[in-house]
Amino acid sequence: MANTRDIRRRIKSVKNTAQITKAMQMVAASKMRKAQQAALAGHPYSEILNRVLVSLRGRVTEGSHPLIEERPVRKSLVLLVTSDKGLCGALNTNVLREATLLDEKTTEFVSSGKKGAAFLVRTGRTMIATFTLSDRPTFLQTKAISKFCLERFLSGDVDRVSVLYPKFVNTMTQKPVLVPLLPISRHEAAGINGGVHENEAQYLFEPDSDEVLNAVLPYYFHFTVFQMILDARASEQSARMVAMKSATDNARNLVKDLTLEYNKARQASITTELLEISTAQMALA
């Protein structure tokens, strides 16, 4: 059994760790609420944008715009969205596990997040660009990423663009998903945010459907990438808060166990001293 001095040191160390994880939990909880509000605020607008796009797709011929033109997939581009920091449980691990399932020979990556970039370098996968965003990314910041991916698709360097990110389900659940965005198919446009059917709304377009489609399609892609990155930020802060809460609870339980062990060791030490005193007194009698 360890002596009481070593146990006291361990108790002090664990208590200090618990204070740190508790502080990180409170910070993550504050950021989580803001990130969740930002992610949820764009959903109504995104649904309306989907409805407009679906209505447009029903009025133009297939292949009338390069962003909806289907072509054989020889090369794919995947935007890999991870966090810059760790301490968020298995969030990044789950996303990176999905990335390992993709064909290395036909897939190139664009990374948003230091964890994803480090993984791509470590595993030798093709990474053509990496971007770093703030904790609360703006549309202009994410547009630099989506514009880079859009240009790769329009130039013919890749035939498909997808986003791999941790989708926010709720505070306890974040699910890694791979969502194809380019070319924009009618099914994908209708189903990204809740399923929109063509007959739900009828719109009049001026000057004509083709002109509006040319303006809406690039913006739709930019906004969808922005919304997915906001979703990933909400997932990151939620996972970090849960991980830090779990760490704090585990530290407190460990302090209880160590305190019990300390009391036992102290009691055993006192009992030994009393026995030694009694034995010495009996020897002198």
pLDDT reported for residue 60: 61
* Shared-domain flag, residues 65 and 197: yes
The answer to whether residues 258 and 7 touch, using CB atoms and an 8 Å cutoff, is: yes
The span from the CA of 260 to the CA of 267, in Å, is: 11
pTM of the complete model? 0.80
Residue 167 belongs to domain with CATH number: 3.40.1380.10
* Shared-domain flag, residues 98 and 117: yes
User: Structural domain of residue 122, as residue ranges?
Assistant: 26-242
What are the φ/ψ torsions at residue 107 (nearest 5 degrees)?
A: -125, 130
* Shared-domain flag, residues 36 and 79: yes
- Residue 149 a catalytic site member: no
**How many domains, the chain?**
2
pLDDT reported for residue 50: 79
Helix (H) or strand (E) holding 272, with range, is helix 209-284
* Shared-domain flag, residues 201 and 255: no
| Tokens encoding 9 | 């040191």
* Shared-domain flag, residues 142 and 211: yes
Give the 3-state secondary structure of residue 190.
Answer: helix
* Shared-domain flag, residues 219 and 153: yes
* Shared-domain flag, residues 142 and 184: yes
pLDDT digits (tens, 9 = 90+) for 180-231: 888 877 545 544 444 444 444 566 666 766 677 777 888 888 999 999 999 9
| Tokens encoding 113 | 């997040």
By CB atoms closer than 10 A (0-12, 13-18, 19+), residue 176 is: buried
Which regions of the chain are under pLDDT 70? 1-2, 57-64, 186-206, 208-210, 285
* Shared-domain flag, residues 181 and 210: yes
pLDDT digits (tens, 9 = 90+) for 24-45: 888 888 888 888 888 888 888 8
Residue 251 belongs to domain with CATH number: 1.10.287
277: Cα within 13 Å, side-chain hemisphere:
6
pLDDT reported for residue 159: 87
* Shared-domain flag, residues 74 and 183: yes
Helix (H) or strand (E) holding 128, with range, is strand 127-131
pLDDT reported for residue 276: 74
* Shared-domain flag, residues 67 and 119: yes
* Shared-domain flag, residues 224 and 254: no
* Shared-domain flag, residues 124 and 11: no
Per the residue annotation, which of 53, 54, 78, 88 is the catalytic one? 88
pLDDT reported for residue 209: 63
The span from the CA of 6 to the CA of 10, in Å, is: 6
